[in-house]
Amino acid sequence: MMSQPAFTRFFSLVKFSHTLFALPFALLGYFLAIEYSIHTFDYWLLAKVILCMVFARSAAMAFNRYIDRDIDAENKRTSEVREIPLGVVSPRAALIFVIVNAILFIGVTYLINPICFYLSPVALAIVLGYSYTKRFTALCHLILGLGLSLAPIGAYLAVTAEFAWLPIYYSLAVLCWVSGFDMIYALQDREFDQSMGLHSIPAAIGPKNSLRLSLLLHFFCATFMVLAVMHANGNWLYWTGTGLFIFLLAYQHSLVKADDLSKVNLAFFTTNGIASVIFAIFVIAGFYLV
């Protein structure tokens, strides 16, 4: 297995495809800034925003795999699929990968503007710090959500260097969205977490209550999404994208039951990835086609 090309091993380590969860919202933050401020489109700045998203996400995911390597080796669900327990990537190589991506992230923020550069250590502290949280709090899902919620507001700051309500609405929506679907995903490890003394919402309150809390968070997510469209005075494409996102948000709850977790991966990976991409396409298209 070690004969795989290095880039293939590390792409697998960080689950590069999972970047689809937050990258559309980073792109949305960038285009919102172009649409609702005096700033104009800049290909180079857009490339830097995308690089920041990729570097921060890669550092966070690799750090999580590094910190959790012993836990992953004990967990039947992860021991035979994750790269460090399998020996595909060494702990030292994973840590170096984290450091390189963190440095690249900070370096790119320096090239964007001072506020992004000054806030970059805070962003890293949140996205990297998440990996420790399940050791002491069941609110770890909210910390994960907070980390990904930085995408829209960070991209908006990259363009304008100013805070505004519109990207904040989307950051709040992402916070609730990610926290809610991470609770659904964590249902798979409820018994393992309890046996290891790890903390999660499912381990603390059980499957049924976890699904109810996830649904409540997704209701708040939908609320913030609607408030954002109203604040932006969005057109019909903007509303359509929002409606489709909310529909898929609700759809994932029809897939997972407290006594049937067979479709968790479909709800977690496929549905959420499609929802974020479709939403971003419709909204950004609305800026240029209507």
Q: What is the 3-state secondary structure (H, E, C) of 212-249?
A: HHHHHHHHHHHHHHHHHHHHHCCCHHHHHHHHHHHHHH
Closest to 108 (Cα-Cα) out of 26, 11, 6, 9: 26
| Mean of per-residue pLDDT scores for the chain | 93
For 77-113, the pLDDT digits (tens) are: 999 888 899 998 999 999 999 999 999 999 999 999 9
pLDDT band at 1 (very low <50, low <70, confident <90, very high): very low
Q: How far apart are CA 165 and CA 183, in angstroms?
A: 27
pLDDT at 44: 98
CATH code of residue 147: 1.10.357.140
Q: Is residue 20 domain-resident?
A: yes
Q: Is residue 123 domain-resident?
A: yes
105 vs 4, higher pLDDT: 105
Q: How far apart are CA 150 and CA 21, in angstroms?
A: 12
Q: How far apart are CA 247 and CA 192, in angstroms?
A: 32
Range of the domain at 141: 6-289
Q: Is residue 1 domain-resident?
A: no
Q: Which of 16-25, 82-91, 153-162 has the highest mean pLDDT?
A: 153-162
Q: What is the mean pLDDT of residues 14-28?
A: 79
Q: What is the mean pLDDT of residues 164-181?
A: 97
For 195-247, the pLDDT digits (tens) are: 999 999 999 999 999 999 999 999 999 999 999 999 999 999 999 999 999 99
Q: Is residue 152 domain-resident?
A: yes
Lowest mean pLDDT among 50-64, 181-195, 264-278: 264-278
Cβ partners under 8 Å of residue 7, min gap 6: none
Cβ contact 209:98 at 8 Å = no
Q: Is residue 155 domain-resident?
A: yes
Amino acid at 235: N
pLDDT at 81: 83
Q: Is residue 200 domain-resident?
A: yes
Residue 257 sits at φ, ψ, to 5 deg, of: -120, 160
Could you give the number of structural domains in the chain?
1
Which single residue is written with the structure tokens 């035979």?
80
Q: Is residue 100 domain-resident?
A: yes
Q: Is residue 70 domain-resident?
A: yes
DSSP state at residue 273 = H
